[in-house]
Homo-oligomer: A and B are copies of this chain.
Amino acid sequence: MEFPGKAGGMDPEFDIKDVCPVIEVIDRISGKWSISVLVATAHGPVRFTELERQITGISRRMLTLTLRNLERDGLLTRTVYPTVPPRVEYAATGMARELYEHLAGFTSWAARHQGEIAAARTAYDAGRTAEPVPAPG
């Protein structure tokens, strides 16, 4: 997604560059389908068509692109069996499964706060439409 390289450093209390690696990670999983593919391959080798079926709504093109990107980053292995018809299997690497574990932390965060977030949204949206007219007369 091409994030900013740095962001000033006038506050000695924290260095934004400490957080920069996160951006790299987000970059890697920010694609619309990356997480789904990561999840689908985390439990063992999966074939292309199986992924296509399992990940509802993904197009052939995007599946390929997502697969290639993850492979390039070393998160996926691609194994070709030179049979006919061809057989290709994708599997998450150890690194990817580690990443996958970290996702659990976010899942719990989301679960804990989803009500709060929904409420915040409702409140925000309500404020946006109602405030313009505080005193009609």
- A binding-site residues for B, Cβ under 8 Å: 1-8, 10-11, 13-14, 16, 18-19, 21-26, 29-30, 32-33, 35-36, 39-40, 42-43, 53-58, 71-74, 95, 98-99, 102-103, 105-107, 109-111, 113-114, 116-117, 119-121, 124-125
Nearest B residue to A73 by beta-carbon distance?
B117
What CA separation (Å) do A68 and B25 show in the bound complex?
Answer: 24
Chain B: CB-nearest residue to A6? B56
A interface, over-half SS = helix
> Looking at the complex, which one of B18, B19, B107, B120 makes contact with A18 (CB distance below 8 Å)?
B107
In whole Å, how far is A92's beta carbon from the nearest beta carbon of chain B?
12
